[in-house]
Chain A
Amino acid sequence: MEQRPTVYSDEKLFKKLLEDKNITIEDALENEMVINMGPQHPATHGVLRLVLRLDGETVLSALPELGYLHRGYEKMAEEMSYIEFIPHTDRLDYTGTMCNNVAYVLAVEKLLGIEAPKRAQYIRMMIAELSRLAAHMVAIGTYAMDVGAVTMVMWTFREREKIQDIFDRLAGARFTTSYTRIGGVASDADSVTLKMVRDFLDQFHSALDEMDKLLLSNKIFIDRLEGIGVLSKEDAIALGITGPNLRASGVEYDVRRAKPYLFYNEMDFKIPTYTDGDCLARYWLRGDEVRESVKILYQILDKMPQGEILANEPKHTLAHKAEIYTKMEELIHDFMIINYGINPPVGDVFFSAENPKGELGFYIVSNGSGHPWKMKIRSPSFCNLQAIAQLCKGAMISDVIAIIGSLDPVMGEADK
């Protein structure tokens, strides 16, 4: 009895494979081939699996398979209080953690009907934009690396590192920030932090120009992206694409402008759009968005108001630690909130915010108790991935890498 590999559980098939010695190269070339790309593939940005049907190098059809990073956050959310879920939002889109924190607490605040003080809102806006910069730096860097420009990722990650340092000072953690609180933020942004942000922005302009110089005079980079993976305006809307990918297809839709939350209505910024809808347009658009975010950040720093960073809502917001230890009233409220939760009114709300990847929405159903009856996370990466099958059809196999990179999915968010 010969030793056989365990992967062939079907004995008949295994025998046939052993006997069939007459397969020629011509046979293989004439037939279609099904290959499995991922889940452990560096260019799929996490654990995305694609099953590709190929004719030579042309993709006949592509089938995305999700669920390799499914952790069941929606189920877990039903078993924990509203405050306990904040750290879990970090793990959704782990490149833009602060944006998730902000979107989640805004959704809960909408359900409660409370509002954070102005300074807290401005700090939230600041960290959300910084987070957007960081996420776009990752997106652009890894995208360029996927199509062969490896230097780029070093340069963008260097800039991102500076943003992480600001988060480290502000929230005490670089990635898993969990910085926002229901009714405000965890700690005040002192003058040193604000100075760090300003210093970062001042040197960021020249860094961006350097990056542009590196990539845009690179013929290979342009050739690999131009005209690849074209997504028309109608298809983008029909497939539910949001965020940079939608705007690259020519739809001027940004939640920050359409339904302004925080104080985005006081900010002066443009919404960049492109009409080509190809991979290059999606690259350009992220670059433009970074520049708009820098503009917003300067305005936030100039207008940053003074005042409280937590709303005065004792039934809904946790008081500062120092007050809990010294005042009776605060201690009682802290005890009640931790043990019984914040008990929002019965009802359901949908709140969505503009995240680096697209529109992140939280649909929360409350039955009046301390934890949500249901929480649905409408994650932009999940919705954007729906376009992959259509975009890959008819493309070359090397274009598939460019298309995935241009859609910029984060599997932590797509799989929840």
Chain B
Amino acid sequence: MEMKELIVEKLKKNFGEFVQEVTDFRNDLSITIASNKIVDVAKILKEDPELEFVMCKDVTAIDWATRKNRFTVVYHIYSFKNNITLRIKANIAEESPAIESVTSVWPSANWYERETYDMYGIVFKNHPDLRRMYMPEGFQYHPLRKEFPVLGIPGSLPLPGKI
């Protein structure tokens, strides 16, 4: 498809070797970029008059458990103008995982990033309100990490005692 080639071309022109991988599986275009360039990439994708990816549909992460770059942060963005959903990926390392927040570009990423922080412990730098989304404030773990057991950790959640 022409539009997809245009997107990849524009990103490669602007960021060169920072565009690490381009895949097109089941007609889903997915572009992996260097994690330190995420905000710049987001700005280009949103503001370029030919692309206009104005809506961020989703932010999440994948825990690969054994890879060198353990986490991948995944963004799904949508362009009303071209009717295309694009997936942006950024790999980050296991040691103190952090990535720049894209809330300055897409305000809707606010809650999605909070959820990702809650579930994976990935810190989104310059996020306006980085608190846990679902788990209680004092909770120590990040449940969607692969080492967290499905049954939970006994004693990690304070249960109401006898009154």
Report the nearest A residue to B116, measured CB to CB.
A376
Number of A-B contacts (CB under 8 A): 91
Report the nearest A residue to B114, measured CB to CB.
A66
Residues of B within 8 A of A365 (CB): 62
* A110→B28 CA distance, assembly (Å): 10
Residues of A within 8 A of B38 (CB): none
Q: Which of the 9-residue segments A133-141, A219-227, A326-334, A378-386 touches chain B?
A: A378-386
Checking A6, A70, A363 against B60 with a beta-carbon cut-off of 8 angstroms, the contacting residue is A363
A383, B108: Cβ atoms closer than 8 Å: yes
A258, B108: Cβ atoms closer than 8 Å: no
Residues of A within 8 A of B30 (CB): 348
B92-129 vs A, Cβ < 8 Å mask (1 yes, 0 no): 00000000000000111011100100010000000000
Is B150 in the interface zone, CB < 8 Å from A?
Answer: yes
Q: How far is the CB of B114 from chain A (nearest CB, A)?
A: 10
A349, B25: Cβ atoms closer than 8 Å: yes
A72, B143: Cβ atoms closer than 8 Å: yes
Main secondary structure of the interface of A (DSSP, over half): mixed
B108, A67: Cβ atoms closer than 8 Å: no
Residues of B within 8 A of A75 (CB): 143-144, 148, 150
Is B76 in the interface zone, CB < 8 Å from A?
Answer: yes
B28, A350: Cβ atoms closer than 8 Å: yes
Known A-B contacts A75-B144, A349-B25, A386-B108; the reply to A240 vs B57 at CB < 8 A is yes
Residues of A within 8 A of B148 (CB): 75
Q: How far is the CB of A141 from chain B (nearest CB, A)?
A: 28
**Which residues of chain A from 197 to 248 have a CB within 8 Å of any chain B CB?**
237-240, 242
B28, A349: Cβ atoms closer than 8 Å: yes
Is B156 in the interface zone, CB < 8 Å from A?
Answer: no
Is B13 in the interface zone, CB < 8 Å from A?
Answer: no
Known A-B contacts A258-B83, A382-B111; the reply to A361 vs B58 at CB < 8 A is yes
* A113→B150 CA distance, assembly (Å): 30
**Which residues of chain B from 26 to 54 have a CB within 8 Å of any chain A CB?**
26, 28, 30, 54
B60, A67: Cβ atoms closer than 8 Å: no
Q: List 20 A-B contacts (CB under 8 A).
A: A67-B135, A70-B135, A74-B119, A74-B144, A110-B26, A113-B26, A237-B54, A237-B55, A240-B57, A253-B80, A348-B25, A348-B28, A348-B30, A349-B28, A350-B76, A350-B85, A363-B58, A385-B111, A386-B111, A416-B134
Q: Which residues of B contact A (CB under 8 A)?
A: 25-26, 28, 30, 54-58, 60, 62-63, 74, 76, 80, 83, 85, 87, 106-108, 110-112, 115, 119, 132-136, 143-144, 148, 150, 163
Q: Which residues of A contact B (CB under 8 A)?
A: 6, 66-67, 70, 72, 74-76, 78-79, 110-111, 113, 237-240, 242, 251, 253, 258-259, 347-350, 352, 359, 361, 363, 365, 373-374, 376, 378, 382-383, 385-386, 415-416
List the 10 closest A-B pairs by CB distance, nearest first.
A240-B108, A67-B134, A70-B134, A347-B25, A376-B60, A378-B58, A238-B107, A374-B62, A239-B108, A349-B26
Known: A238-B55, A350-B87. 8 other contacts (CB 8 A): A70-B135, A79-B150, A113-B26, A237-B54, A240-B106, A240-B112, A349-B25, A386-B111
